[in-house]
Structure 1
Amino acid sequence: MSNILIIKHGSLGDIAQASGAIQDIYENHKKDQIHLLTTKPYFELFKKNPFIHNVILDKRLSKFNLIYLYQLTRILKNFNFEKIYDLQNSSRTTFYKNILFTKAKSDKWSSSETTLPIDILKIEFDRKPVLNRFDHQLKTSGTKTEHTMKPNFNWAVTNINNIKQEFNLDKYIVLFPFCSAHLTHKKWPHYNELIGLIKIKYGDQIKVVVAPGPSEIDDAKNINAVSILDKGKALDISQLASLINESSFVIANDTGPAHMTAHLGVKGIALFGKHTTAFKVSIERENFKAIQVDDLEKLSAGKVLEKILI
């Protein structure tokens, strides 16, 4: 039995996307122990993943913090990993490779860099859809893929019956009108108008809710929808996954919850401006689609309403 390491620091949407790759790594190493290196926001979540035996916390302190780097390196080297799958593919994880396995090839350290096709530059390779990149990385490293192209995030769900009872949730639509403060170009500005149209069309047949993150609770007061919280606090990731999973439909900006919805197999749509494409981020699935426009400001609430399928 060997020790296998997967590195996946975040973000939320990326973790949902990587679920299939993680499952394929497990399936290819049935006799081995699968360890995963991640950051604090996702440490407890990954403990629920049935394809991971052990989760290791990376505090991601400064690269110049030599004491921390020494401690982390010592922890990782003690496992004597047979193979490392870098699913983060960041400058930081490349830095880790240069500390741990400077000359390692794809048979030892699997990353988009060590598996890069010989006829393409990395900047060009990174323009390909994210799931295709994962698929190429694993196959080039000798790992058979069955689930990479069709991630399943259902391992993350939990029981939220108490929350559904508290807010009297039966048939409901979830909106995700928020985004990070530095990514306001992803934000569609017409959610309240859409809510009005939904109420006209469906009346009391369906409830419209939002699930704000910790920094979005105050902003949620400006949205004309029921704000779903757990004892006044934001839902954790598993609760959020369950709220999405049991919903009738989801409408979201291009954020983590949109990717969660896509890979939970739930019906919904993501609203994209020109910042990227739905194709590149591999978000469209059988039940989850995207509306792509050059200017989100000009995307009307009526146009979005037409895409709601309940």
Structure 2
Amino acid sequence: MAKILVIKHGAFGDVVQVDGVLRDIRQQHPSDELVVLTTPPYRSIFERCPHVDRVLTETRPKAREPLLWWRLARLLRSEHFDRVYDLQNSSRTSIYRRYILKHADWVFGERKRGEESALSAFQRQLAGAGLDTPHTLAPDIGWMADDVTSILQARGVTGKYIVLVPGSSASHPEKRWPHYATLASAIANQTEYQVVTVPGPDEIELCRAIPATPLFDTHDKVLDWFGLAGAIQGASYVVGNDTGPTHVAACLGKPGLALFGPHASPVRTGLSRANFRAIEADDLKELPMETVLRKVIADLRSG
């Protein structure tokens, strides 16, 4: 039995997208031990992932932290990995390849410039190593979704509902479309759907300003990864910014809409899928609520 390492540090949206990649790696190594190296926030996700046997975490030490580098090198070398699939493909993991695990067989790559998505780049990377890739472009994270019936009932969500994802990483405020409040009101007035939000720790006040039902767990805390996935799994439709929960919706195969300014491309980020589409604007602030509402209602009617 060989020992296989897969490296994927983050971020959240990138983590959920690699489900299909991991499935294809697992099919190549059905009897081998498949270990994922990630960062602490995503440990629980990979521990639940059905394609993974074991999870290691690291904190990505800085250059001025030699003790942490030494500990990381000792940990990785002690595992005696036979092959490494680098799904981070960063300057950091190139150090691991050249100096820490230089005796392992490495499968690594890089994205092309332009409109290539990360998943298309992973498909090239795996195909170059001789792997079949039937699942790489079609992640399916149904395994990640908890049953949130009790949470919905406690919040008075008893029928069909639409999830709005108004937040984004605090370091990228330019990704936030500012008209979710008026969109929530219009959906409630013009359709039979309830409107909910799934706030993260830094988005509670943002979601409170929207006339929608914020979903929290039974202890009034923000939903964990699996509660979040469960809430999105049960939705009829999802509207969100370029952020992790929107990627969850796309990877669950939900119908929905991602809103993009000039910061990134929906194709390159992987958010443009069969059921999940995107609207792009030169300036998100100038994207009219009515444009988004028309698209939502049209999709609901056609679905």
Identify the residue that residue 202 of structure 2 maps to in structure 1: 215
2:292 corresponds in structure 1 to: 304
**d(CA) in 1 for partners of 2:282, 2:172:** 16
Q: Residues 78-123 of structure 1, C-alpha deviation per residue, up to 9 Å, x if partnerless?
A: 221111011011222122222224487xxx111115xxxxxxxx6x
The answer as to whether partners of 1:172 and 1:209 remain within 8 angstroms in 2 is yes
Q: C-alpha root-mean-square deviation of aligned residues, in Å?
A: 1.6
- Provide the residue aligned with 2:257 in structure 1: 269
Conservation of the 8 A alpha-carbon contact between 2:76 and 2:101: no
TM-score computed with the length of structure 2 as normaliser: 0.93
1:290 aligns to what? Answer: 278
Question: SS of the residue aligned with 2:184?
Answer: helix
The question of whether the paired residues in 2 share the 8 Å contact of 1:126 and 1:133 is answered with no
Judge conservation of contact 2:77–2:101 (CA < 8 Å) in 1: no
Range with bigger deviation, 84-93 or 246-255: 84-93
Matched, 1:100 2:80: no
- Given that residues 115 and 267 in structure 2 are in contact (C-alpha distance below 8 angstroms), is that contact kept between their aligned partners in structure 1? no
Partner AA of 2:170 in structure 1: A
Q: Deviations over 1:21-69 (max 9, x none)?
A: 0110001000100000011111111110010000011122323322222
* 1:244 aligns to 2:225 (yes or no): no
Match of 1:70 in 2: 70
Report the equivalent of 2:34.
34
Contact 2:255 2:276 in 1 (8 A): yes
Gaps of 5+ in 1: 114-121
Aligned equivalent of 1:58: 58
SS in 2 for 1:189: coil
Number of equivalences: 296
Matches within 5 A, 1:1-310: 1-102=1-102, 108-113=105-110, 124-125=112-113, 128-169=116-157, 170-202=159-191, 205-230=192-217, 231-308=219-296, 309-310=299-300
**Rounded Cα–Cα distance in structure 2 between residues aligned with 1:127 and 1:100:** 33
Amino acid of the residue matched to residue 225 of structure 1?
Answer: A
3-state SS in 1 of match to 2:204? coil
Task: Determine if contact 1:110/1:141 at 8 Å carries over to the other structure.
Answer: yes
Q: TM-score, normalization: structure 1?
A: 0.91
Deviation at residue 127 of structure 1 after TM alignment? 5.1
